[in-house]
C-alpha cells in the first residue's frame, strides 16, 4: 500500500523538516497594537512567491500542576472569538532577551500569583503555520507556592481561576467543551506524559528552533 506522494526519510525520526529559503524582500504592511502583518517574497524552486502573514513574537503557557493532579486554569475574555475561554496562564515573549522559562515564571506570578520550584518543557507547537509564525512553548510547573497578589487590568481584571483535575480537562477537550489550543495540547501532552512516568519532559532551557525570534529577516 502506498504511503502517499513521498516516502523519503525511511528510518529517520518522524519530524517536521526546517527549511530556510532565500527571502528577497520582507516588509511590515500593517503595524499592529500587539503584532504585525508582514509581506515576504521568497524563492521556491523556479518561482518567486509572495505571502502575507502575522509576525508574532511567540508566547509561553504554563500547566501548573499540584500534588493532586489538578491544573490551575483561568477563564479570560478573548474578543476575536467572543468567548470567555478556560486556558492556562500564558503571555507573549515581548521582553527583549528574556529566556522563555523566565517569561513563563513571570506570567505565572502575574496572572495567578504562583511560583514553582520545578520547571520542564511539556510541549512546543505552532498555532497556525499557514497564516502566522506564532510559536508557543508550554511548560509544566510543579512544587507550587503562593505569592503576593498582583493588581490586574483589562481582560485580566475579572479573570476567574479554578483548580481542575487533569483527567477532567482531557474529557472536556475531547468533548470540545473547551477549545483553547494551549489548554487542549497541554492537557493531552500532560496526560500522555504522566502515563509514561513523565519521561517525555524536557529541560526548561531546551533548544527551541521553531521560535520566530531565531529566524532571520530580509528587508523590513
Instruction: Give the model confidence (pLDDT) of 122-151 as tens digits.
Output: 999 999 999 999 999 999 999 999 998 777
Q: At 159, is the pLDDT very low, low, confident or very high (cuts 50, 70, 90)?
A: confident
The CB density around residue 60, as the number of other CB atoms within 10 Å, is 28
* pLDDT band with cut points at 50, 70 and 90 for residue 154: low
Mean pLDDT calculated for residue range 25-53: 95
Residues 6+ apart with CB under 8 A from 130: none
- CA distance readout (Å), 72 to 108, 115, 178, 203, 212: 10, 12, 15, 22, 28
Which of 3, 40, 39, 43 has the alpha carbon at shortest distance from 19?
A: 43
Residue 157 pLDDT exceeds 90: no
C-alpha atoms less than 13 angstroms from C-alpha of 190 in its C-beta half-sphere: 28
Output the pLDDT for position 215: 44
What is the mean pLDDT of the segment spanning 114-118? 98
CA pair distance 71, 108, nearest whole angstrom: 12
Nearest to 220 by CA among 2, 24, 11: 24
**Which CA distances in Å does 69 have to 43, 109, 168, 180, 200?**
49, 20, 10, 20, 17
* Per-residue pLDDT at 4 exceeds 60: no
The DSSP bridge pattern shows strands 83-87 and 59-64 to be unpaired
Report pLDDT digits (tens) over 179-218: 999 999 999 999 999 999 999 999 999 999 888 664 434 3
Longest dimension (CA), the chain: 61
Confidence at 12, pLDDT banded by 50, 70, 90: confident
The CA distances from residue 99 to 10, 44, 67, 68, 119, in Å, are 35, 33, 27, 29, 13
Spatial distance between the Cα atoms of 179 and 187, rounded to a whole number of angstroms: 11
Q: Is 156 a catalytic residue?
A: yes
Which pLDDT score, from 0 to 100, does residue 11 have? 79
pLDDT at residue 216, as a whole number = 38
User: Residues 153, 155, 156, 160: which is the catalytic one?
Assistant: 156
37 Cβ partners below 8 Å, 6+ apart? 28, 29, 30, 52, 53, 54, 55
Q: Are strands 59-64 and 135-146 parallel, antiparallel or unpaired?
A: parallel
The pLDDT value recorded for residue 219 is 36
* Residue range 84-91: mean pLDDT, rounded: 97
pLDDT for the residue numbered 153: 62
Provide mean pLDDT across the span 58-86.
Answer: 96
Predicted TM-score (pTM) of the model is 0.88
Distance separating alpha carbons of residues 125 and 37, to the nearest angstrom: 20
Amino acid at each position: 500500500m502506498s504511503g502517499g506522494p513521498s516516502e523519503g526519510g525511511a528510518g529517520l525520526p518522524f519530524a517536521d523538516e526546517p527549511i530556510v529559503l532565500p527571502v528577497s524582500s520582507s516588509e511590515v504592511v500593517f503595524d499592529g497594537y500587539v503584532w504585525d502583518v508582514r509581506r515576504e517574497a521568497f524563492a521556491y524552486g523556479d518561482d518567486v512567491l509572495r505571502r502575507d502573514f502575522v509576525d508574532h513574537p511567540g508566547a509561553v503557557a504554563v500547566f501548573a500542576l499540584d500534588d493532586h493532579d489538578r491544573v490551575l486554569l483561568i477563564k479570560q475574555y478573548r474578543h476575536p472569538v467572543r468567548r470567555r475561554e478556560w486556558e492556562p496562564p500564558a503571555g507573549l515573549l515581548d521582553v527583549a532577551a528574556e529566556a522563555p522559562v523566565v517569561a513563563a515564571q513571570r506570567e505565572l506570578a502575574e496572572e495567578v500569583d504562583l511560583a514553582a520550584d520545578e520547571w520542564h518543557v511539556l510541549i512546543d507547537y505552532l498555532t497556525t503555520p499557514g497564516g502566522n509564525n506564532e510559536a508557543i512553548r508550554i511548560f509544566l510547573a510543579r512544587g507550587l507556592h503562593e505569592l503576593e497578589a498582583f493588581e490586574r487590568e483589562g481582560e485580566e481584571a475579572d479573570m476567574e481561576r479554578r483548580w481542575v483535575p487533569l483527567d477532567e480537562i482531557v474529557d472536556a477537550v475531547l468533548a470540545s467543551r473547551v477549545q483553547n489550543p494551549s489548554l487542549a495540547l497541554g492537557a493531552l501532552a500532560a496526560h500522555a506524559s504522566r502515563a509514561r512516568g513523565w519521561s517525555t519532559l524536557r529541560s526548561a532551557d531546551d533548544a527551541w528552533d521553531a521560535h520566530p525570534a531565531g529566524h532571520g529577516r530580509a528587508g523590513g
